[in-house]
Amino acid sequence: MIILDENYPESQRLILAGWRIAVRQVGQEVGRDGMQDEEIIALLHQLTRPTFFTLDADFFHPTLRHARYCLVFLDVDQYEAATFVRRTLRHEVFDTTAKRMGHVLRVAQTGITSWRLHEANKAQVTWA
């Protein structure tokens, strides 16, 4: 299940829909408008293996790692968000739900930085 933060641009959401990437957005299909970060984390615990995409850097922190979800901070221009959601979901290291669970990711032009559950150090993955 792909979840978008409520601050995710509608234009980018429509691009994902055009690519047939099924998403749900906080404040529309899941949760409610104005949810605080802690409430979003609690919501993710209730969902089945969600991958949460956000433009909010506060979600890129190793203490947020959990086996039941994946957090993805898109550190890109908001008008490139859809492209980087798709690139992340297609990357050979993160192309299945099982591969993503337990990760907190920072997605940028240069690649993906990852904190994985039960690992002390960040890992860097480049784009293929």
User: How does residue 99 score in pLDDT terms, banded at 50, 70 and 90?
Assistant: very high
Quick one: pLDDT at residue 54?
97
Phi, psi of 34 (to 5 degrees): 75, 15
Quick one: pLDDT at residue 28?
87
Q: What is the β-pairing status of strands 123-125 and 111-116?
A: antiparallel
For the record, the structure tokens of 39 come out as 């409430």
105: Cβ–Cβ under 8 A, 6 or more apart, which residues?
Answer: 60, 70, 71, 72, 73, 88, 94, 112, 113, 114, 115
Quick one: pLDDT at residue 31?
87
Phi, psi of 7 (to 5 degrees): -85, 5
Helix axes 10-18, 81-90, angle to 10 degrees: 40
Quick one: pLDDT at residue 17?
95
Distance CA 2, CA 89 (A): 10
Residue 128 has pLDDT above 80, yes or no: no
Give me the mean pLDDT over the 81-110 stretch: 97
Quick one: pLDDT at residue 94?
97
Give me the mean pLDDT over the 57-71 stretch: 96
The pTM for the full model equals 0.94
Residue 109 has pLDDT above 90, yes or no: yes
What is the per-residue pLDDT across 70-91, written as a single tens digit (0 to 9) for each? 999 999 999 999 999 999 999 9
Give me the mean pLDDT over the 108-119 stretch: 95
